[in-house]
Amino acid sequence: AQSVTQLDSQVPVFEEAPVELRCNYSSSVSVYLFWYVQYPNQGLQLLLKYLSGSTLVESINGFEAEFNKSQTSFHLRKPSVHISDTAEYFCAVTLGGYNKLIFGAGTRLAVHP
């Protein structure tokens, strides 16, 4: 069975500082990996995904994540955060097709001025 662990429940950071949100997964087979972002009282929006190919994937708003198969990790990073990045971030895995997404518990990123 697959599982996802997000190592930090909350990450406070000052504006323009770098941030890393950690995600580790366990699976005996290959998986597809995702980061979703959720703003207060809203649904989830896909931030970025790893399906195959380059292990470094980027989003349009400056986030990036690196798939590390040996460490079974998919950490999310941003070199300089903005107030508007304040949200909850979820890491998720799936076996693909119509298999369910398995989510981590989420990391609440709080960006302070």
Partner 1 sequence: DGGITQSPKYLFRKEGQNVTLSCEQNLNHDAMYWYRQDPGQGLRLIYYSQIVNDFQKGDIAEGYSVSREKKESFPLTVTSAQKNPTAFYLCASSNQGVYEQYFGPGTRLTVT
Q: Which residues bind partner 1 (CB under 8 A)?
A: 4, 9, 32, 34, 36, 41-46, 49, 51, 90, 94, 96-98, 100-101, 103-106
Q: How far is the CB of 66 from partner 1 (least distance, A)?
A: 18
The closest of 3, 23, 8, 2 to 68, measured between CA atoms, is: 23
* The residue type at 29: V
CB of 76 to partner 1, least distance (A): 15
Cα–Cα distance for residue pair 104/55, rounded to 1 Å: 20
98 or 113: whose CB is closer to partner 1?
A: 98
CB nearer to partner 1: give 87 or 106: 106
Which amino acid appears at position 93 of this protein? V
Cβ pair 24, 73 in contact under 8 A: yes
